Amino acid sequence: MISFTLWKRNLKVCTLPFLVIFAMLCMYTTVIAYMYNPELSEMLSGYQQALPELMAAVGMTGIASSLLEWMQIYLYGFIMLLFPLIFILVMVQKLLMGPVETGTLANLLATPNSRKKIICTQIVSMALWMAFLIGLVTAVGALSCEILFPGELDIGRYLALNFSTLLLQEAIVGIVFLAACFASSSKMFYLAGAGLPVLFFLMQMVSNMGEKLEILRYVNIYSLLPVEEILKESAYFPIQDAVMSGIAAALFLLGAWQFQKRDFSL
């Protein structure tokens, strides 16, 4: 049960930021795929030795023995985590926090649309925007690899890696969405909604830099991304996928509950 009028408005306000982030991710994905060759692998390995802490912080460590591992090392430790996060913050601001603060949402609540219908529309919009982003980037990556290096990419595991990335980003959407449902101003929204995911992201970077800081992985949502399990074809990565799905669902439900009971000035 969604409002199609609100759905159309959501499409309009999020199209530009979506295209900007999508273009950036496509550029990085195709460039990284193009760079796959033994000579560049040796050069980048040299960077890892010369700047070990910096390369570790952005997750770009290890020697790639396959195209899939190459894509994972240089995309899924930093690029595929940071740029979707930027889009999430912009998207939730435009779809929920902005309308709450300007009073647009209060006016919408004065129409026959119920609160449940409105918040369901926003949740579906947010979840689908993220699915579109990761899905289209996945298609671009698979197509680029197939054109440049036919048959070398393990498509099954590449899809599994991106599906897990999508579930992680949906959980991040849930965190930011929940903050917007509780916050009464953009200042509070950014403090919690942006602050917590950014803190998790920084914790992930720091935990990559050494064993002494590895404990940060255990209190960090980004550590749920089952990269190693997928690369090793472990049977355990669906468990992590299920945990991320559960976190996302719980956060969306809690946010929707708070939205339906909070007061809005009309």
Full domain range(s) for residue 160: 4-261
Query: Is 176 within a domain?
Result: yes
On whether the pTM is more than 0.85, the answer is yes
The whole-number average pLDDT for the span 7-35 is: 94
Residue 266 belongs to a domain: no
The CA distance from 176 to 197, in Å, is 8
Identify whether the C-beta of residue 159 lies closer than 8 Å to the C-beta of residue 236. Answer: no
Regarding predicted confidence, which is higher, 113 or 36? 36
Across 118-263, the runs of DSSP E, i.e. the strands, are none
Encode burial over 177-193: b for 16+ CB neighbours within 10 A, e otherwise: bbbbbebeebeebbebb
What is the total count of domains within the chain? 1
How far lies 120's CA from each of 93, 154, 254, in Å? 16, 37, 12
Instruction: State pLDDT tens for residues 28-61.
Output: 999 999 888 755 665 555 555 555 555 555 555 6
- Percent of the chain with pLDDT strictly greater than 90: 53
pLDDT, one tens digit per residue, over 62-85 is 677 789 988 998 899 889 999 999
Angle between helix axes 115-148 and 4-34 (nearest 10 degrees) is: 20
**Considering the domain boundaries, does residue 39 fall inside one?**
yes
Averaged pLDDT for residues 174-193: 89
- For residue 253, tell me if it sits in a domain: yes
Q: How far apart are CA 228 and CA 226, in angstroms?
A: 6
Query: Smallest Cα–Cα separation from 115: which of 123, 50, 242?
Result: 123
